Amino acid sequence: MIKRITLLVVLLLLATACKEEKKQNITKLQGAVFGTTYHITYVNKVNHQKSIDSLFNLVNKSLSTYKPTSDISKINQGDTTVVVDAMFVEVFEKAKRIYKETDGYFDPTIGRLIDAYGFGSGKEKKDLTSEEIAALMENVGFDKVVLKNRKVYRDSENIEFNVNAFAKGYGVDVVGRFLESVNIHDYIVEIGGEIRARGTKDGNLWKVAIEKPNIDGTRSVQKIIELDNESMATSGNYRKYKVNAEGKKIVHTVNAKTGLAEESNLLSVSVRLKGDCADVDAYATAFLAMGLEKTKEFLKKHPALKVVLLYHNEAGELAEFVN
């Protein structure tokens, strides 16, 4: 369920000494899932690894485009008998809402475009022509997909439904909700850079760091953020890209309005909200496609969203916008 390689968000809490963790009943779990890594830390001594692994399996079974037997893969393959589960329904409804809010900049039906550019699970087409892009765009549009009685109906069999743009964020929410269901209210869950934090540790808010968008392969911290019962997602275009035959950079964020995957001056987007991680994950994707100025305009109408935007200014220098 790789939707993209996100910026590495450094979890500062991982440096806590083991002796101190034992005294405070801190549990840490980590591993690999959805094609990336995860880190979970919570204030409780009970190890819930088995339950969390089961939840990861359920998310994959419902929503992974990398598993041919998942519900979403069967639907994309034309199986009209699939009755989707509650996870799929929730993700579909979230996607529908954010698709409308962002005027289509967030669109889960760009699956075949993502494949064609070489960033998905399907077949890549080298050096897409404008005609090929136009043909693929004929089957883009979330308004062409309907969910009724837990079945998905597509206007065309060529429409590929793909929720990888916020699947990791949704996985974070699933784990966070589980922890809350077993009365764990002080935790931080991170999957591939997407984060959900609730409560505190030692009476202090959980702290994370946003990475500086270095293009030379090095890694350093741009900004420290305290999460006050918030979720945060970070995404960028400066690390995962391809170069076509003309030497032009093709980034992994596809603009659902144009079908293009062009580089802009917006390098990194971090979005946080007192809500679900899936939401901020989707917004981060949309903002990269919107670009700097349209994102700023969007934020004026959605003040609950807090962002850190890292971009190149007119002088070519790294600049920061924080609302």
Is residue 10 very low, low, confident or very high in pLDDT (cuts 50, 70, 90)?
very low
- Which residue's entry shows tokens 């007119």? 314
Tell whether 3 is covered by a domain.
no
The whole model's pTM is what? 0.88
Most confident range, picked from 5-19, 105-119, 234-248, 271-285 = 271-285
Burial string for 98-121 (b: 16+ CB within 10 Å, else e) reads bbebbebbbbbbbbbbbbbbbbbb
The pLDDT of residue 3 is 39
Q: What's the rounded mean pLDDT across residues 28-55? A: 97
Tell whether 122 is covered by a domain.
yes
Tell whether 2 is covered by a domain.
no
Tell whether 1 is covered by a domain.
no
CA dihedral 264, 270, 275, 278 (to 10 degrees): 60
Q: What's the rounded mean pLDDT across residues 19-44? A: 85
The pLDDT of residue 118 is 81
Tell whether 147 is covered by a domain.
yes
* Residue 270 structural domain: 10-322
Tell whether 4 is covered by a domain.
no
Tell whether 81 is covered by a domain.
yes
Q: What's the rounded mean pLDDT across residues 215-226? A: 85
Tell whether 5 is covered by a domain.
no
Q: What's the rounded mean pLDDT across residues 5-20? A: 42
Task: Assess whether pLDDT exceeds 50 at residue 143.
Answer: yes
Q: What's the rounded mean pLDDT across residues 38-54? A: 98
Task: Assess whether pLDDT exceeds 50 at residue 58.
Answer: yes
Longest dimension (CA), the chain: 63
Q: What's the rounded mean pLDDT across residues 141-170? A: 92
For the chain, strand residue ranges (E) read 10-11, 26-33, 36-43, 145-148, 151-154, 187-191, 194-198, 200-201, 204-211, 221-227, 231-236, 241-243, 249-251, 266-273, 306-312, 318-322
Q: CATH number, domain at 236?
A: 3.10.520.10
Q: What is the pLDDT of residues 273-323, one digit of tens each?
A: 999 999 999 999 999 999 999 999 999 999 999 999 999 999 989 999 999
Task: Assess whether pLDDT exceeds 90 at residue 174.
Answer: yes
Contact 234, 7 (CB under 8 A): yes
The domain total for the chain is: 1
